[in-house]
Amino acid sequence: MHRNKLIIIIFFILVAILLLILNPPTVLRTSPPNLGGEREGVLNINGRVFQTEIVKSKQDIARGLSGRESIDNNQAMLFVLPVKKTYVFWMKEMNFNIDLLWIDGYEVVGFEKNMQALENITADKDLPAYSSPQAVDKVLEIKAGSIDNLNIKVGDIIEFESKKF
Protein backbone atom coordinates (compact mmCIF):
# COMPACT_ATOMS: atom_id res chain seq x y z
CA MET A 1 0.00 0.00 0.00
CA HIS A 2 2.80 2.40 0.96
CA ARG A 3 4.63 1.58 -2.28
CA ASN A 4 1.54 2.42 -4.41
CA LYS A 5 1.24 5.86 -2.77
CA LEU A 6 4.90 6.50 -3.43
CA ILE A 7 4.52 5.55 -7.10
CA ILE A 8 1.50 7.87 -7.47
CA ILE A 9 3.37 10.78 -5.85
CA ILE A 10 6.41 10.22 -8.07
CA PHE A 11 4.12 10.06 -11.13
CA PHE A 12 2.54 13.44 -10.30
CA ILE A 13 5.93 15.01 -9.62
CA LEU A 14 7.21 13.80 -13.00
CA VAL A 15 4.09 15.16 -14.74
CA ALA A 16 4.57 18.54 -13.01
CA ILE A 17 8.24 18.67 -14.05
CA LEU A 18 7.32 17.76 -17.63
CA LEU A 19 4.70 20.54 -17.72
CA LEU A 20 7.24 23.07 -16.41
CA ILE A 21 9.75 22.03 -19.05
CA LEU A 22 7.20 22.29 -21.87
CA ASN A 23 5.67 25.58 -20.64
CA PRO A 24 8.16 27.41 -18.40
CA PRO A 25 6.80 30.27 -16.28
CA THR A 26 8.32 33.70 -16.78
CA VAL A 27 7.95 37.00 -14.99
CA LEU A 28 8.05 38.72 -18.35
CA ARG A 29 4.54 37.58 -19.27
CA THR A 30 2.79 39.98 -16.91
CA SER A 31 0.53 42.59 -18.46
CA PRO A 32 1.76 46.15 -18.10
CA PRO A 33 -0.61 49.00 -17.27
CA ASN A 34 -1.69 51.19 -20.16
CA LEU A 35 1.00 53.85 -20.35
CA GLY A 36 -0.59 55.60 -23.30
CA GLY A 37 1.88 54.58 -25.98
CA GLU A 38 1.31 52.89 -29.27
CA ARG A 39 2.26 49.58 -27.62
CA GLU A 40 3.22 48.30 -24.20
CA GLY A 41 5.69 45.62 -23.22
CA VAL A 42 7.81 44.35 -20.38
CA LEU A 43 11.57 44.25 -20.15
CA ASN A 44 14.13 43.28 -17.55
CA ILE A 45 17.43 45.00 -16.79
CA ASN A 46 19.68 43.44 -14.16
CA GLY A 47 16.72 41.97 -12.30
CA ARG A 48 14.39 44.99 -12.44
CA VAL A 49 11.20 44.53 -14.46
CA PHE A 50 10.02 47.64 -16.31
CA GLN A 51 6.52 48.28 -17.65
CA THR A 52 7.55 49.75 -20.97
CA GLU A 53 5.88 52.03 -23.45
CA ILE A 54 7.14 51.15 -26.92
CA VAL A 55 7.25 53.93 -29.50
CA LYS A 56 8.00 53.46 -33.18
CA SER A 57 6.32 56.26 -35.11
CA LYS A 58 8.35 59.31 -36.08
CA GLN A 59 5.95 61.59 -34.16
CA ASP A 60 6.07 59.51 -30.93
CA ILE A 61 9.87 59.23 -31.13
CA ALA A 62 10.17 63.02 -31.49
CA ARG A 63 7.80 63.62 -28.54
CA GLY A 64 9.25 60.95 -26.24
CA LEU A 65 8.57 61.71 -22.58
CA SER A 66 8.30 65.48 -23.08
CA GLY A 67 5.34 67.15 -21.43
CA ARG A 68 4.82 64.39 -18.87
CA GLU A 69 4.98 65.07 -15.17
CA SER A 70 7.13 62.10 -14.11
CA ILE A 71 8.12 58.49 -14.64
CA ASP A 72 7.99 55.78 -11.96
CA ASN A 73 10.90 53.55 -10.94
CA ASN A 74 9.40 50.60 -12.81
CA GLN A 75 8.41 52.46 -15.99
CA ALA A 76 10.40 52.99 -19.17
CA MET A 77 10.02 54.23 -22.72
CA LEU A 78 11.61 52.18 -25.48
CA PHE A 79 12.28 53.85 -28.82
CA VAL A 80 12.40 51.29 -31.63
CA LEU A 81 14.25 53.24 -34.29
CA PRO A 82 13.56 52.85 -38.01
CA VAL A 83 17.21 52.46 -39.09
CA LYS A 84 20.31 51.35 -37.22
CA LYS A 85 22.54 54.43 -37.14
CA THR A 86 24.01 57.07 -34.83
CA TYR A 87 21.20 59.11 -33.20
CA VAL A 88 21.04 62.36 -31.28
CA PHE A 89 18.52 62.92 -28.45
CA TRP A 90 17.66 66.04 -26.46
CA MET A 91 15.56 67.00 -23.45
CA LYS A 92 13.03 69.28 -25.11
CA GLU A 93 10.05 70.20 -22.86
CA MET A 94 11.05 67.64 -20.22
CA ASN A 95 9.74 68.05 -16.66
CA PHE A 96 12.05 65.54 -14.96
CA ASN A 97 15.54 64.07 -15.26
CA ILE A 98 16.13 60.70 -16.92
CA ASP A 99 18.79 58.11 -17.64
CA LEU A 100 19.11 56.97 -21.26
CA LEU A 101 20.46 53.66 -22.59
CA TRP A 102 21.79 53.30 -26.15
CA ILE A 103 20.96 49.75 -27.31
CA ASP A 104 22.20 47.73 -30.28
CA GLY A 105 20.07 44.61 -30.65
CA TYR A 106 19.68 43.64 -27.01
CA GLU A 107 23.01 44.94 -25.70
CA VAL A 108 23.68 48.22 -23.90
CA VAL A 109 26.39 49.98 -25.91
CA GLY A 110 26.36 53.28 -24.02
CA PHE A 111 24.33 55.45 -21.69
CA GLU A 112 23.69 58.95 -20.44
CA LYS A 113 23.15 59.43 -16.70
CA ASN A 114 20.89 62.01 -15.09
CA MET A 115 20.02 64.00 -18.21
CA GLN A 116 18.68 67.27 -16.83
CA ALA A 117 15.25 68.73 -17.53
CA LEU A 118 16.03 72.30 -18.57
CA GLU A 119 13.08 74.58 -17.81
CA ASN A 120 14.67 77.88 -18.82
CA ILE A 121 15.82 76.91 -22.31
CA THR A 122 13.21 77.70 -24.94
CA ALA A 123 15.27 77.78 -28.15
CA ASP A 124 15.91 74.34 -29.67
CA LYS A 125 19.43 75.38 -30.69
CA ASP A 126 20.33 75.94 -27.01
CA LEU A 127 19.36 72.45 -25.85
CA PRO A 128 22.21 70.01 -25.12
CA ALA A 129 22.39 67.14 -27.62
CA TYR A 130 23.31 63.59 -26.61
CA SER A 131 24.73 61.37 -29.35
CA SER A 132 24.87 57.57 -29.38
CA PRO A 133 28.45 56.22 -29.19
CA GLN A 134 27.80 53.99 -32.21
CA ALA A 135 24.96 52.93 -34.49
CA VAL A 136 21.94 51.78 -32.44
CA ASP A 137 18.47 50.50 -33.18
CA LYS A 138 16.87 51.14 -29.79
CA VAL A 139 16.99 53.72 -27.01
CA LEU A 140 15.55 53.26 -23.53
CA GLU A 141 14.61 56.10 -21.19
CA ILE A 142 14.25 55.34 -17.49
CA LYS A 143 14.06 57.32 -14.26
CA ALA A 144 17.23 59.25 -13.40
CA GLY A 145 19.46 57.29 -11.02
CA SER A 146 18.37 53.89 -12.34
CA ILE A 147 21.68 53.23 -14.13
CA ASP A 148 23.57 53.59 -10.86
CA ASN A 149 20.91 51.83 -8.75
CA LEU A 150 20.92 48.78 -11.03
CA ASN A 151 24.66 48.88 -11.76
CA ILE A 152 23.98 48.98 -15.50
CA LYS A 153 27.09 48.92 -17.64
CA VAL A 154 28.06 48.65 -21.28
CA GLY A 155 27.65 45.04 -22.40
CA ASP A 156 24.59 44.33 -20.24
CA ILE A 157 21.80 42.51 -22.05
CA ILE A 158 18.22 43.79 -22.01
CA GLU A 159 15.67 40.97 -21.78
CA PHE A 160 12.50 41.76 -23.72
CA GLU A 161 9.08 40.16 -23.33
CA SER A 162 9.24 39.27 -26.99
CA LYS A 163 11.84 39.88 -29.65
CA LYS A 164 9.39 41.41 -32.12
CA PHE A 165 10.94 44.84 -31.99
What pLDDT score does 68 carry? Answer: 72
Q: Distance of CA 113 to CAs 92, 130, 145, 148, Å?
A: 16, 11, 7, 8
Number of domains in the chain: 1
* Residue 72 maps to a domain: yes
pLDDT tens-digit profile of 1-10? Answer: 667 776 777 7
Can you tell me the distance from the alpha carbon of 86 to that of 79, in angstroms, rounded to the nearest whole number? 14
User: What is this structure's pTM?
Assistant: 0.71
Residue 165 lies in a domain: no
**Residue 62 domain-assigned (yes or no):** yes
Question: Is residue 100 situated within a structural domain?
Answer: yes
CATH number reported for the structural domain that contains residue 81 in this entry:
2.60.120.1140
Position 19 in a domain:
yes
The whole domain housing 46 covers: 2-160
Write the pLDDT tens digit of every residue in 71-107.
888 989 898 998 999 988 877 777 788 899 999 999 9
